[in-house]
Structure 1
């Protein structure tokens, strides 16, 4: 049963939102993007009900960027980019909700997630994707909690494999390659919050699962990202989505701008419109 609630609007000017986000850039094994000095970036939009337009250096890069979309990863030249994020249809002449001059570092493999925090406020979190070698016969699984929801456990074939995961954290483990039936339950209970869903955990691949949405709005969902080519010392690392979840906006990779060096730190919030509809 869907319990919709009234959508409130929060709008801010460019000067009202200051975002500081940093990502450590370890030396990953192999990878064409790392070898030629470029970065590889994917962007995940996990804020329900919020569509945005993204601009870089005055050019529209991601028009009508909709919730639940995970962009294709693409190599990106290092350099400085002026990034502007507008509520859908309000750019480029309006006031940007976010505007940052960004230095793009070389050699990173990262995903930027726009999502809700545990209280339902839109935030940005940058994740570094582990592309180190996976042992023979194994697969790497990472679950990222980016939903407005309490702590959760992740189960594979009914058995907990990740416990007590809170927003905006992630947990990783190496498991035998194969297909597992996964679901997400409230921590310490058997109450299913998301799923079940079949996950194909390929040998030598890194499967990243995003639990996103809002428990209060009854729209929790899963999104999957797959990075392959780590079963041995690879000549190149390919990163992308699995199956029908693939989405393709090549220019979206400029969002790596949010990742530089150091630990992830959020000093501001995504100041774009978010509406809620409440009706019984």
Structure 2
């Protein structure tokens, strides 16, 4: 397969300053997918070239610019031949990148067009974790899709993910709020990208892509955010004095056990009264 992308990238070498594009439209996780469907979005992380994206010969995206995340589309589950062309060159020309991607039924996935660690264009499919996020938390996922060495990812100056290699990812549920994030060369304080403020809202899943090329000095960050996956609140019950009592699973079991004991207690009282009546 012939790739046109390295030529385009070489033409842009040294022309881009360090960029931090860390905002992206929030993507609603939406209702549960049907058994034969999947939600698929595309991230374009190859600098210097606008592209058209095809799936099984059908145009999926046109004039797609670097650093962009496309809104998820509902696709039938199955195997797709993904082809990435320089804008206007498809579908009869030679694709710049091509790969078969398996889309699992019911999954939420992102297909990333990006550079390998040594600067070659490639496609990587990631499955997005859109399960419920614990109360008070946000999910943070970092994906290393840049032509750069192994890195550490820091939040507020402290490493949260270490020794992250291209094209790997790391995920953790963290406290919600705004953090200052940067990417450093593994085991050092040498900053490769950042710092940048990330607003991690409660009940969201936030995917941060570190993309671009270290040699071309155009490394950048891009976020993809999924909403609507907060955990349901704990049940609230009114006490006898009108005060609200939040119950966890164990105390809820005890509460139901107590409720179940009430009829038995009442029966015991009535039986005692009958015995006392007979004695009288």
TM-score normalised to structure 1 length: 0.67
Q: Distance in 1 between matches of 2:134 and 2:81?
A: 41
Q: Which has the higher helix share?
A: 2
Aligned to 1:187: 186
Question: How far did 1:229 drift?
Answer: 1.9
Are 1:143 and 2:124 matched, yes or no? no
Taking a change above 3 Å as real, the CA distance of residues 129 and 82 of structure 1, as seen in their structure-2 partners, is closer
Q: Deviations over 1:154-190 (max 9, x none)?
A: 1111111111111111111111111111111111111
Aligned to 1:174: 173
Aligned to 1:62: 61
Q: Which ranges in structure 1 are unaligned for 5 or more consecutive residues? A: 1-6, 11-29, 235-280
Q: Distance in 2 between matches of 1:154 and 1:102?
A: 28
Question: How far did 1:70 drift?
Answer: 0.6
Tell me if the contact between 1:33 and 1:39 (Cα under 8 Å) persists in the aligned partners. Answer: no
Question: How far did 1:87 drift?
Answer: 2.5
Are 1:221 and 2:220 matched, yes or no? yes
Residue 32 of structure 1: SS of its match in structure 2? coil
5 Å-filtered alignment, 1:22-37, equals 32-35=31-34, 37=36
Tell me if the contact between 2:153 and 2:161 (Cα under 8 Å) persists in the aligned partners. Answer: yes
Tell me if the contact between 1:33 and 1:40 (Cα under 8 Å) persists in the aligned partners. Answer: no
Taking a change above 3 Å as real, the CA distance of residues 162 and 55 of structure 1, as seen in their structure-2 partners, is closer
Number of residue equivalences: 209
5 Å-filtered alignment, 1:66-81, equals 66-78=65-77
Q: Deviations over 1:77-116 (max 9, x none)?
A: 3467665432222223434445678775431100111111
Tell me if the contact between 2:101 and 2:125 (Cα under 8 Å) persists in the aligned partners. Answer: no
Q: Deviations over 1:193-214 (max 9, x none)?
A: 1111111111111111000000
Question: How far did 1:35 drift?
Answer: 3.7
Q: What is the CA RMSD across the aligned residues, in angstroms?
A: 2.6
Question: How far did 1:230 drift?
Answer: 2.0
Moved more, 205-214 or 33-42: 33-42
Tell me if the contact between 1:33 and 1:75 (Cα under 8 Å) persists in the aligned partners. Answer: no
CA radius of gyration, larger in: 2
Taking a change above 3 Å as real, the CA distance of residues 166 and 83 of structure 1, as seen in their structure-2 partners, is closer
Q: Distance in 2 between matches of 1:99 and 1:159?
A: 38
Q: Deviations over 1:209-243 (max 9, x none)?
A: 00000000000000001112222269xxxxxxxxx
Tell me if the contact between 2:97 and 2:121 (Cα under 8 Å) persists in the aligned partners. Answer: no
Task: Specify which structure has the bigger relative contact order, considering alpha-carbon pairs within 8 angstroms and separated by 6 or more residues.
Answer: 1
